[in-house]
Amino acid sequence: MLSLFHPFIEFGFMRRALIACVALSISATPLGVFLSLRRMSLIGDALSHAVLPGAAIGYLLSGLSLVAMGIGGLIAGLAVALLSGAVSRFTPLREDASFAGFYLGSLALGVTLVSLRGSSVDLLHVLFGSLLAVDAPAIILVGAIAAFTLIALAFLYRPLVIDAFDPTFLRAQSRWSAPLVHGLFLTLVVLNLVAGFQVLGTLMSVGLMMLPAASSRFWSRHLSMMLLNAMAQAVAASVTGLLLSWHFSLPAGPAVVLSATALFFISILTGPCGGLLRRT
């Protein structure tokens, strides 16, 4: 058993990759649970692509600088979230359709911008990340975002729960306004996607956010247990994916997301709350 986990003991880059994934697991997956409860699961995917043009502009200006790409990605993600909300508010277009339009344009623009200066290797780095190349500044950034997210969720937990199940009550009875809660929530989502693209890339980061969140619905009907289950599944997928990557020479980021996908299918089949085998 010890030999199985030997890579984490001997190699620093494996430990750094694991720390980054665990930090993402405990901050991004609770947001994924709330996205799922609010029927906004695909909006997380849209925002992950919306980060790309800002990250690409940061790359064009400063190369593979974590600070420049992170700030650019945050600005781009928040801009798409605000623009999509404004379009859905002042036009007949629904919010999901508005997000779809903006994210498709953002993805195309981001790929074009990276291709103007970089090589195909640079483009793959931005799209799929370099999990095994995570360095100390990236860990500090991801850890800071994870800590801030957990603190913010502690303050926003009650209004988020009310808004997910009864937004009318939030507007009528709470001191929190629904647009403010929605805006703060989307800001946290964008922040975690910025942290995720530093590690898993823009295309893979949403996988660690949404797959464990979707799986947790099959294991409990209590929100607190769903949140804990989602975080545990994300950590398990991170450890399993990194070990598979090491022992079978697989790309690390996709291996982590594939591990989360395997847990998702296991949950669909065997989960006590609606799993197919339990139902039959």
In the 3-class helix/strand/coil scheme, how is the chain assigned residue by residue? CCCCCHHHHHCHHHHHHHHHHHHHHHHHHHHHHHHHHCCCHHHHHHHHHHHHHHHHHHHHHHCCCHHHHHHHHHHHHHHHHHHHHHHHHHCCCCHHHHHHHHHHHHHHHHHHHHHHHCCHHHHHHHHHCCHHHCCHHHHHHHHHHHHHHHHHHHHHHHHHHHHHHCHHHHHHHCCCCHHHHHHHHHHHHHHHHHHHHHHCCCCCHHHHHHHHHHHHCCCCCCHHHHHHHHHHHHHHHHHHHHHHHHHHCCCHHHHHHHHHHHHHHHHHHHCCCCCHHHHC
Cα 189 to Cα 44: distance, rounded to the nearest angstrom? 7
Contacts with 16 (C-beta within 8 Å, 6 or more apart), sequence order: 134, 135, 136, 139
Read off the tokens for 211.
């797959």
What confidence score (pLDDT) does residue 162 get? 84
Is 0.85 surpassed by the pTM of this model? yes
Cα 130 to Cα 197: distance, rounded to the nearest angstrom? 9
210 touches 27 (CB < 8 A):
no
Each residue's pLDDT, cut to its tens digit, for the chain (280 residues) gives: 667 778 888 888 999 999 999 999 999 999 999 998 887 777 777 787 788 888 888 877 877 677 777 888 888 888 888 888 778 777 877 777 777 788 788 878 887 887 776 555 566 666 667 788 788 888 898 999 999 999 999 999 988 888 877 777 766 666 677 778 888 898 899 899 888 877 887 778 888 999 999 999 999 999 999 999 999 999 999 999 999 999 898 888 889 999 999 999 999 999 999 888 877 6
Cα 277 to Cα 165: distance, rounded to the nearest angstrom? 28
What pLDDT, in 10s, does the model give residues 247-266? Answer: 898 888 889 999 999 999 99
Contacts with 131 (C-beta within 8 Å, 6 or more apart), sequence order: 17, 20, 21, 199, 200, 242, 245, 252, 253, 256
Domains of the chain and any CATH numbers = 6-203 (1.10.3470.10)
Contacts with 168 (C-beta within 8 Å, 6 or more apart), sequence order: none
What pLDDT, in 10s, does the model give residues 62-71? Answer: 776 777 778 8
The CA-atom distances, in angstroms, between 210 and each of 24, 54, 123, 201 are: 12, 22, 24, 15
Cα 46 to Cα 210: distance, rounded to the nearest angstrom? 12
What pLDDT, in 10s, does the model give residues 139-172? Answer: 898 999 999 999 999 999 988 888 877 777 766 6
Residue type (1 letter), 169? F
